[in-house]
């Protein structure tokens, strides 16, 4: 464990992202604590998961578009200013040996920077541009992620098949056993099953609550659908008329 807690300092009351329910809830609460080496942020689209994990990454010194703390490229500044108002409480005497911020939506730009820096060897020896999107994500986890690291991942399942998610799950477990910490925003029922992880679900009102795996909305809805796809489709299509 490297990060113990985040707190929101004095910040504006209005304007994006400070008017998001999750940010308002964070302002009104006592911060967000990380109790286990893997923290999974769950919630519906628009709940603020990606905004929050981006802010944590910026506050921790990572490049807003992704990469390590040494990456300093920028293609278009789209990050919010939330990271400037977060205070990170770190575990005393613990400093990560390495780290990475993965944003699924901007990994193409990170791949270009990897080529330009000439560090392809650290990512499996093949440029991410010469691999499929999913293969490049797994190359990153296998070859670039190492022991004792802090890893912030924003919806890594976006590029992965179910098999790919399972492979990433195994790699996360390996790295946790080697002293790494992960904070992951995800919709994936596979990744939400990460052993000994804490699932924090962001509700419609922005409140962040810890839930068990079986009670996570993404898990419950997926199970309902897979139990009887035709029944759910009939209901959805009927409701849509």
| Spatial CB neighbours of 188, under 8 Å, sequence gap ≥ 6 | 157, 165, 218
Q: Residue range 58-74: average pLDDT?
A: 86
pLDDT digits (tens, 9 = 90+) for 82-122: 888 888 999 888 899 999 999 888 888 888 888 888 889 88
pLDDT digits (tens, 9 = 90+) for 156-187: 999 999 999 999 999 999 999 999 999 999 99
Kindly report which listed range (77-91, 92-106, 125-139, 208-222) carries the lowest average pLDDT score: 77-91
For residue 5, give the DSSP letter.
E
Q: In this structure, what CATH number is given to the domain that contains residue 42? A: 3.40.50.300
Output the CA–CA distances (angstroms, integers) from residue 46 to 41, 72, 74, 174, 232, in the order listed: 13, 28, 24, 31, 23
Place of tokens 């670039």: 144
| Residue 156 CB coordination number (10 Å) | 27
**pLDDT-based confidence at 123, cuts 50/70/90?**
confident
User: How long, in residues, is the chain?
Assistant: 241
Q: Give the rounded percent of residues in the chain with a pLDDT score beyond 70.
A: 95
Q: Give the rounded percent of residues in the chain with a pLDDT score beyond 90.
A: 54
Mean pLDDT over all residues of the chain? 89
**pLDDT-based confidence at 214, cuts 50/70/90?**
very high
Q: Residue range 3-23: average pLDDT?
A: 84
Residue 77's pLDDT is 62
Q: Residue range 212-241: average pLDDT?
A: 89
Residue 197's pLDDT is 96
Place of tokens 């804490």: 198
Q: In terms of residue numbers, what domain contains 185?
A: 3-239
**pLDDT-based confidence at 241, cuts 50/70/90?**
low
Total tally of structural domains belonging to the chain: 1
Give all strands (DSSP E) within the chain, no chain letters: 3-8, 32-33, 38-43, 86-90, 98-103, 149-154, 181-185, 198-202, 208-211
Residue 78's pLDDT is 62
CA–CA distance, 166 with 141 (Å, rounded to integer): 12
């Amino acid at each position: 464990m490297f990060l113990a807690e985040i707190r929101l300092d004095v910040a504006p009351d209005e304007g994006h992202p400070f008017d998001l329910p999750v940010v308002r809830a964070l302002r009104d609460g006592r911060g967000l604590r990380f109790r286990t080496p893997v923290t999974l942020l769950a919630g519906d689209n628009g709940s603020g998961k990606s905004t929050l994990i981006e802010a944590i990454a910026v506050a921790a010194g990572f490049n807003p578009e992704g990469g390590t703390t040494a990456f300093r490229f920028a293609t278009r500044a789209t990050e919010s200013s939330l990271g400037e108002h977060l205070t990170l409480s770190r575990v005393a005497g613990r400093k990560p040996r390495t780290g990475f911020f993965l944003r699924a939506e901007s990994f193409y730009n990170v791949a270009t920077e990897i080529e330009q820096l000439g560090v392809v060897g650290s990512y499996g020896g093949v440029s991410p541009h010469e691999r499929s999107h999913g293969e490049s994500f797994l190359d990153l986890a296998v070859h670039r992620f190492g022991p004792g690291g802090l890893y912030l991942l924003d919806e890594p399942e976006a590029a992965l098949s179910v098999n790919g998610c399972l492979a990433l799950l195994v790699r996360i477990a390996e790295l946790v056993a080697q002293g790494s910490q992960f904070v992951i925003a995800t919709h994936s029922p596979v990744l939400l099953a990460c052993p000994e992880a804490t699932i924090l679900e962001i509700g419609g009102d922005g409140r962040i609550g810890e839930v068990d795996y079986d009670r996570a909305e993404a898990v419950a809805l997926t199970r309902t659908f897979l139990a009887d796809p035709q029944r759910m489709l009939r209901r959805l299509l009927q409701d849509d008329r």
